[in-house]
Structure formats: structure tokens, C-alpha cells
Structure 1
Amino acid sequence: MNRKACDDFRKLHERQEEGPLRRRDQQRYDEHLNECGECAEWLESRHNSLFCLRLVKSEVEPSEGFSERLQTKMQGLGKQRLAYWSPAIVGAAVTALFLLMLLQVATGTAANAVKNQGYGEARRLKVVPSPLFETPTPTPTDPMP
């Protein structure tokens, strides 16, 4: 039989294992299975292999107390991981906050500050960049439109 037709048949078979095929695909599947002896043998050997695997399936019973030991060990692992990461997380958070404060001071984020002059009038304050750790001195500029 045609190699492409056999490949298509096997793809249809995979889709069929996941769920029902559309009517047209099911018809192509059945027709190919009836016409191609090689695919019929392949399908039969596949079914036989799966049948044998199901027969060989063995059930192993866990030892007495296995579930309890496993559960206590898993709980202990969770506590160890939390204990390990807690100082690292706190340290990282403190460092991040410190760096953000340092960045804010260094860049002079008051550059866009607005001073209320009373009577509904506001003036934009102009901040002259200054060296690190010095307080910028705001100077009034033109009123905002």
C-alpha cells in the first residue's frame, strides 16, 4: 500500500485514541484498515502488546507506615526550604528599598514638584541638578498654564 496512506492511517489512529473521529476521517480509517494488510497487522500487534502490558501489570503494596513517613518527610522539606529562603528574601527586599531610596535621592525626583501659591495659583519648581546627597534647591518658574 501507499506509504503516505499508511502514515495518515497511523495519525488517524492516534487521534482516535484521544477521542472519536469525524465521520469522514472514520470512514478513511476503516477503508484503509480493510485495504491494507500491513496496517491491519500493525494494529493487531499494537493491541496484543497493550493487552500483554495490562496482564503483566503488577500492584506493589507499600510497606506499613510508608504514607506517614513520606508525609512527615515532605513537611520537613517544606520547612527547610522556607527557613533557607526567608533570610535571603528579607535581605533582598531591604537592599532593593535602600537602592530605590538612593536612586531617588541621586536623581532628584523633586524635579516635577509643584508649589501651591494660594488663591488657586501654582508654580512649577525648577530643580537644578546637584551632586549626590545634597538637597536640591527649588526655584519658582513661570506659572503653569
Structure 2
Amino acid sequence: MGIISQILEAIASNLVLLAVLIAILIVIVAIGRTITKVKTSGTAARMAEIGLDSKKLEIMSKRAYLEGLKNASMVLTDNEKKKIDSVRADNAVLSRKTIAAMDEVEERTNRLERGTDLSRLSRTLDKIKRYESTMFKNIGGR
């Protein structure tokens, strides 16, 4: 009995040491993750700041471009403005006709699909009726 108690005592003392080592390891891992998160969040914040600065520059560039166009349009003669308006009107007509053609194509495609479905279903129904007539002819039903 003395040997068994010594073995149990050795295991118990080693378990305490093992538990302490595991606790230390958990603390080290937690500290490492915290440090990583802090560094990552700093990087993410910096990237967001750079993205925001980029958007600001893009907006400023567009404003400058539009301002330049506005100033340039003030210089156009009435004849040049009429030509531009004519082209815009033509573009509007072409856009409207394009949309109408696209709608017509879509509707005709839908009609063809429905016709194909109906044709296929009619053939299937005819086959079923033929099979039924041969099957039930011998039974005397139908």
C-alpha cells in the first residue's frame, strides 16, 4: 500500500505542475492574440484612412473636371450648343428605340419558350394517351 500512495502522490504533485504550466501557456497565448489584434486594428484603421483620403482626392478631381466643363460650356457658341443638343436628342431617341427593341426581343423570346413548352407537353400528352389506349384496351376500360 505504501508504493501505491507514493505513486498517487507523485501524480498529484505533477498534475499541479502541469496545471500551472497550462495556465501560463494560456496567458502567453492570450497576450500574443491581444498584441496581434492591436497591431491589426491599427493597420486596418490606417488602411481606412488611406481609402478615405483616396475618395476625397477622387471627389476633388471630379469637381475640378466638372468646373472645367462648366467653364468650357460658357465659351461655346450658340451654334455649337445647338449641335451638342442635337446629338443629345439623337442619343435619347436611339436609347428609347434600343430599349423598345430589347423589350420586343424579350417578349418574343418568352413567347417562343412558351410555344416550345406547349409543343413538348402536347407530344407528351399524345404519347400518354396512346399508351393508355393500348394498356386499357385489353382491360375494357376507357
TM-score band, normalised by the shorter chain? 0.3 to 0.5
Whose strand proportion is higher, 1 or 2? 1
Larger Rg: 2
Higher relative contact order (CA 8 A, sep 6+): 1
TM-score computed with the length of structure 1 as normaliser: 0.32
- Structure number with higher helix proportion: 2
